[in-house]
Structure 1
Amino acid sequence: MMFIELDLQSETPIYTQIAEQLIEGIARGQLKPGEPLPSVRSLASDLGINLHTVNKAYQTLKQDGFLQVHRKQGVVVQPDTMPGVTAEFTAKLRQQFRALSAEAIVRGMTESEFLKLAQEVYRSNNLQQKGE
């Protein structure tokens, strides 16, 4: 779990930062399906934060289908199928793109610069792609 880095000055809540970085770890293959994650207490201790914050991140990811929580095994990366592209996800993504693209426009970024950056970020998270 060494790849989790928190920005305590960020406006993004800490539990959201943890959840986003765990999803990035799954996307990049750093976390494999079925792989156990540290306990809530252990991760909270390692990061120097409240255990309720870690619990909220884990519960959010469990609700979204990225993690499973077992009494004996603890928290594991979803061993079966990851959640698919749903209407809710598409709406969330559209809203985030709307806000990001509006700011990019106001700052003078061109559409091609915006799309190139989006493609670079997507590809950096998708290291397992083959020949794309």
Structure 2
Amino acid sequence: MRQLLVSFFILCVTLLGAVQVGAHSAKHAEPVKSFHGGQSLAAGPYHLELVAKDGELLLYVTDHSDKPIPTEGAKAKATIQQGFEKTNKQVELIPAGENTLKGTGTFALSPETGIIVFLKLPQRDAHAARFTPLKTKS
């Protein structure tokens, strides 16, 4: 009987934890507004907006209320993928303003380009987002 109660308690705790996680992701499932003409996505506690041009990336970081989050001391990198090619390009993004990170490199964008951004702010967890800056909306 005691083992049954312990198992039931563990199941309840597990289910309650899963409900909270689901509620958080559903809350931010709506589209994220872009303020600089780029593609915006939610990534953990952040809204990330990537403005991508051939050879240049700008990443704007805000909270879910669209208030700027300082990027001083942030570390970030972008992995640029061209469709299913095996060769990916890496671009380091460095702080370049109040809530902005910037990176440059030798790459060209196409509708098949995917850009995965990894962001780590000081004293915070790392987060990632996958952007498709030139993909047309269907």
- Band the TM-score falls in, shorter-chain normalisation: under 0.3
Who wins on radius of gyration, i.e. which is larger?
2
TM-score w.r.t. structure 2 length? Answer: 0.25
Q: Kindly indicate which of the two structures has a greater share of residues assigned to strand.
A: 2
RCO comparison, higher one (Cα < 8 Å, 6+): 1
TM-score w.r.t. structure 1 length? Answer: 0.26
Q: Kindly indicate which of the two structures has a greater share of residues assigned to helix.
A: 1
